[in-house]
Amino acid sequence: MIRTLTLASVLAMLPAAAGAQDATDTPRASTDVPTPAIGLALGQSAPAVQLLRENGEAAGLTDVMGEKGVAIAFVRSADWCPYCQKQLKQIDDISGELAEMGWPLVAISYDDPDILSKFADKNGLGFELLSDPDSAAIMAFNLLNEQMKSGSRYYGIPHPAIMFVGTDETIRAVLREEGYKNRPSLDVILQIAEQL
């Protein structure tokens, strides 16, 4: 299991970043940060995206942010992916803690809002599932799994990842495991949220 960004590397960067700014400074997105092969880099601006809530209403990232920002779990499908279904059920255990820390959790997939609504209701999830039916947000966050053929049922799925987007709309942390079967542990997610 190789993380795109390990907990140790995030924690090592935080004190340096915090010390580099005065309390009155507003963090700014870096335009010189190279985009990784998959996902976005720390400090990059989050793309402006429009997603659909379970009731079909449109929502942007600023609509779902808390005091510090939003934690986004990108999942392949709540409909057919057993690893995503398991992750969504497990991550619900910490969704309240994340929200209390100022990082409400949302999950994004290419599933239709109706599928997400049924999954959330069936499993009593305490966080919001957002639909990206054309995978525009998945592409904008540089997470599109390009191994899936256009026109197939699986085209448009993301590489699973969790991104923390701050209220300044920059990427604050990225957690991603190699492959699609493994997902970041709940402990690591909470530790990152506590340090941000």
Mean of per-residue pLDDT scores for the chain: 86
Q: End-to-end alpha-carbon separation of the chain, Å?
A: 23
What is the tally of structural domains in the chain? 1
Predicted confidence band of residue 36 (pLDDT cuts 50, 70, 90)? confident
Could you tell me the two tokens for 192? Answer: 């990152």
Domain that holds residue 133: 7-14+34-195
23 is a domain residue:
no
94 pLDDT band, cuts 50/70/90, is: very high
In a domain, 136, yes or no: yes
Q: Give yes or no for residue 70 having a pLDDT over 90.
A: yes
Q: Tell whether the model's pLDDT for residue 139 goes beyond 70.
A: yes
Average the pLDDT over 53-79 and give the result. 96
Is residue 29 included in any domain, yes or no?
no
In a domain, residue 1? The reply is no
DSSP letter (8 states) at residue 158: B
φ/ψ of residue 9, rounded to 5: -70, -35
- Whole-structure pTM value: 0.82
Query: What string of DSSP letters covers 11-50?
Result: HHHHHHHHHTS-TTPPP---SSPPPPSSS--TTPBPPP--
Q: Is residue 24 part of a domain?
A: no
Q: What is the CATH number of the domain that holds 75?
A: 3.40.30.10
| 108, part of any domain | yes
